[in-house]
Structure 1
């Protein structure tokens, strides 16, 4: 089972999937593509226990202030 962390549209159904929802990819290729795109994180791998490294929140980025010229 996977949890959505970035919104996307499921190609097979046309349904918009939003962050916080659970999602089960229809193929392993779809799962790999969405994991690489950082749309999903694995919450219950096939072994049964949750993976701590992939369930962590994505890194937060900070906006840098522009220095005023002059």
Structure 2
């Protein structure tokens, strides 16, 4: 079953984040907890983990792109 990964709200005041680095590519197999990308908010740089094991079928973001909370990433 496909699972879309969206940009989570990682802090109460967080409204956006910038993709610093993608750590996976299209059709890569990932495990639960594997790092998908690095995000930069106005307060910190964080790593986003995969919520489940699976295969990356779509990448909706790019390095350097700033996205709103809730935007699809993978």
Greater relative contact order, per chain length (Cα 8 Å cut-off, separation 6+): 2
For the aligned pair, the TM-score class normalised by the smaller chain equals under 0.3
Structure in which a larger fraction of residues adopt strand: 2
Whichever of the two has the greater Rg, that structure is 1
Structure in which a larger fraction of residues adopt helix: 1
